[in-house]
Amino acid sequence: MEFTALAGLGGFGFVLLAVVINAVYVRGRLPRPVSRDGFDTVVASFASVGGALRKPSVAAPAGWVCLTVFAAGLLSVLWQGGSGPQAWALVGFAGVLMQNVTFTCVEALRFGMAAAASRDRDSVAGLWALSNVLFGFNQVFLAMAMLGFTAAGVSTGLIAVWHASLGYVSAALLFISASTSPYNANGTSRGALIGLIGWLGWVSWILVYCVELLRY
């Protein structure tokens, strides 16, 4: 199998895992960053979550692998060396790598808060604020990924105008949402709708690029 085809499948795999993991969190009412619940409710949720927190996180590493393979496939197609417009693909690849690193920390912080909630309630406050802001700032790396790979895709003629527009608009929305993160440290969700629309655009953007990779 060609690596580009594998990268396309990796992108599909990432989107599938992302949707499933989020569905498990919503259905299981597991505590998530930037929830609208008060601090007492958040602490109680983490204290009582038990082993249920582990289940969705088991699939997270597979998602990061899939996303990295997808990004590497795009990089191999879009950037052939040099410093021309195709070099924007390097920005996209860097955004994906930073997303993986940042979200690894967000996932780990959930277990830290669960452990702290059952032993030292006050210590959860700092971890909760860190998790909320880090979760929000992570959106800027998604924006970087879309901006870089969209600009490179346009320069090579690989993507259609509407796909490029989707990438640029979604990247802008995610950047705006990320910029509100310092105001969400206590669990409020300013800019949440903007971030959600941007994230849905990010997922759709990936799926369209996956089709292009499978056709390449």
Give 159-175 pLDDT, tens digit per residue.
999 999 999 999 999 99
13-33: per-residue pLDDT in tens? 999 999 998 888 888 777 777
Tokens matching residue 138: 């992570």
Sign of CA dihedral 11, 17, 21, 24: positive
Task: End-to-end CA distance of the chain: give it in Å, rounded.
Answer: 12
Q: Nearest 5°: phi and psi at 143?
A: -65, -40
pLDDT at 160: 93
Q: How much is the average pLDDT of 89-104?
A: 96
Q: Tell me how many domains the chain contains.
A: 1
Which of 181, 53, 27 has the alpha carbon at shortest distance from 116? 53
Burial of 91 (0-12, 13-18, 19+ CB in 10 A): middle
Q: Would you say 146 and 184 are in contact if contact means Cβ atoms under 8 Å apart?
A: no
Angle made by CA atoms 78, 168, 195, in degrees to the nearest 5: 120
Q: Give this prediction's pTM.
A: 0.91
Which of 106, 33, 95, 105 has the alpha carbon at shortest distance from 67? 95
36-85: per-residue pLDDT in tens? 667 778 888 888 877 788 888 889 999 999 999 999 999 999 998 778 88
Question: Does the structure show a pLDDT above 80 at 138?
Answer: yes
The letter for the amino acid at 213 is L
Query: How many other β-carbons are positioned within 10 Å of the β-carbon of residue 137?
Result: 17
User: Containing domain of residue 189, as a range?
Assistant: 3-215
